[in-house]
Chains A and B, each alone.
Chain A
Amino acid sequence: MKALVPVKRVVDYNVKVRVKSDNSGVDIANVKMSMNPFDEIAVEEAVRLKEKGVVTEVIAVSCGVAQCQETLRTAMAIGADRAILVETTEELQPLAVAKLLKALVDKEQPQLIILGKQAIDDDCNQTGQMLAALADLPQATFASKVEVVDGKAHVTREVDGGLETLAISLPAVITTDLRLNEPRYVTLPNIMKAKKKQLDVVKPEDLGVDVAPRIKTLKVSEPPKRSAGIKVPDVATLVAKLKTEAKVI
């Protein structure tokens, strides 16, 4: 069974981004880019399923600029067998990405599509669910555990009150949450091997998808600033301040 793993190239999670002074966007020039952490967890999970003999081939996919090839090489260094880049310089929003992925799902016919629950740049949390809807597939989002049993995926999900487990028929879409696994460190020999793995490049037009954005960003602003706080010398002062100054207790 094939597993398709979409991965996104995003600003590294350690970077604290700054808003451009003209409010046109966030300044990401020369900023470190990495694979979206949730997608890394997705690649790791697919590779583990391959190591368990459940999955036979792991295909990593990314949509975006040419540099996404680096992200795909990282996915292959973790253990993906081959990769596909849907190359475009157009701003890609989740609906467009879901349509591109659907075209690839139709072509590759994976039994499992595993991707991160949200990208840490736009924080949308939509792509997996949209893909599932477009492809008429069941979904299990925010997965903290995945088991494939008798043609179904048993997925434990992190939900607002705790955990819930669903059984979904395959093919299906699973989105990963933080505690699904801890991705392995990529070793140098695997990085070298990844350079030789197959990486195909296609364009949105080849897949027959119109990727024009639907939502326009009018401006990007700094969040409201908190006024500077103070250090208190001891617990007694803290309690006094909370009671008389802040009046929250």
Chain B
Amino acid sequence: MTSLVIAEHDHASIKGATLNTVTAAAACGGDVHVLVAGHNAGAAAAAAAQIAGVAKVIHADSAAFANGLAENVAAQVLAIAANYSHILFPATASGKNVAPRVAAKLDVGQISDITKVESPDTFERPIYAGNAIATVQSADATKVITVRTTGFDPAAATGGAAAVDAVSATADSGKSSFVGSEIAKSDRPELTAAKIIVSGGRALGSSEKFSEVMTPLADKLGAALGASRAAVDAGYAPNDWQVGQTGKIVAPQLYVACGISGAIQHLAGMKDSKVIVAINKDPEAPIFSVADYGLEADLFAAVPELISTL
């Protein structure tokens, strides 16, 4: 039994999601290998080799992997898949994009968003927006899995000394090309890894107000910024701030929800937070049912007061 983790990286370094996925892979039993499919990604491969618990790094390098196109990355995974009993991807946008292609080509089912490994063939995963937890068992020879990173502690980023094997890269499919991207650069902690998240809802009323009210709070707490779907749909916050069933799944030490009513789909994304604070002027808001501390107040008064009290 050997597991292959498909690394999430930016060619220069390994992203945190990979570390949680390595932990999940280790729980499946057997050695853990990491695939780095990138372009001029020697640094990422070297970083992967240092992850504690990783026995080998496979490095495939090609311009075809420069932007993580699913057709190309899947082909690379498939080229080495026969060696593995388990193939794990973090349940990030890229992991979710690629994993099912690999599973279908191998003619196996895929298990999405696992939160626990019970045994090499049995896993827990949330369904119905996290309102139920299913324990599922796969009889397929190869298990293809995406890992909910909040379900597993990250493996240590250093301490390992794996060998890095260079393999020849599979070809570009030629059917898809990268045109451009708008990726925000921020000094704030990444939403899925942040210890503290402050999140704003539609009550903020405008993108100027969202920024004006929430940013200083995030600054004061060293927090990441999140948003409800309603706030993103209204244009008050960018799409990558959305926390929810089909947005980011987060489980910080502290989640502060400001002006968020707490729809089922939003709760799905944050109800595993250690401590939840809700600030909302509607006493009936469903968010209060999951909040450890609920403050019934107008956020426009409460948030500035919170900032000055902290």
Contact = CB atoms under 8 A, between A and B. Distances in A.
A109 interface: no
Interface in A204-218: 213-218
Interface of B: 67, 69-71, 74, 92-94, 96-105, 107-113, 122, 126-140, 173, 175-184, 192, 196, 221, 229, 232-233, 238-240, 245-246, 248, 253-254, 264-265, 271, 274-277, 288, 290-297, 302, 305-306, 309-310
Could you tell me the dominant secondary structure of chain A's interface residues?
mixed
A216 B254 contact: no
Contact of B136 (A126, A216, A234): A216
Interface in A128-161: 128-134, 137-142, 144, 154, 157-161
Contact of A95 (B108, B137, B292): B108
B239 A164 contact: no
13 contacts: A17-B131, A95-B104, A98-B104, A127-B100, A161-B183, A166-B179, A178-B246, A213-B109, A215-B111, A221-B133, A223-B131, A229-B276, A231-B288
Contact of A129 (B100, B122, B233): B100
A201 interface: no
A127 B70 CA distance: 14
Nearest to B15: A160
Contacts of B296: 231
Contacts of A137: 175
Contacts of A242: 254, 275, 277, 293
A26 B196 contact: no
B101 A133 contact: yes
Contact of A179 (B71, B232, B274): B232
Contacts of B173: 138
B293 A238 contact: yes
A123 B245 contact: yes
A122 B127 contact: yes
Given A26-B128, A230-B292, A242-B275, 20 more contacts: A120-B129, A123-B245, A125-B96, A126-B100, A129-B97, A159-B93, A159-B181, A160-B248, A164-B67, A164-B180, A165-B181, A166-B177, A215-B109, A220-B133, A231-B295, A232-B295, A235-B295, A235-B306, A239-B306, A248-B254
A230 B294 contact: yes
A121 interface: yes
A213 B134 CA distance: 15
A241 B111 CA distance: 40
A178 to B, nearest CB: 7
A162 interface: yes
Contacts of B136: 215-218
A49 to B, nearest CB: 19
Contacts of A123: 112-113, 126-129, 245
B128 A218 contact: no
Given A129-B100, A249-B254, A166 B135 contact: no
A105 interface: no
Contact of B130 (A141, A164, A223, A234): A223
A162 B248 CA distance: 12
Given A229-B276, A230-B293, A215 B137 contact: yes
A94 B109 contact: yes
A139 B68 CA distance: 12
A165 B176 CA distance: 11
A106 interface: no
A133 B100 contact: yes
B127 to A, nearest CB: 6
B100 A162 contact: no
Given A226-B271, A235-B305, A249-B310, A139 B111 contact: no
B28 to A, nearest CB: 15
A124 interface: yes
Given A133-B74, A179-B239, A217-B136, A141 B97 contact: yes
A99 B238 CA distance: 36
Contacts of A214: 108-109, 138-140
A176 to B, nearest CB: 11
Given A123-B128, A138-B71, A232-B294, A217 B100 contact: no
A133 to B, nearest CB: 4
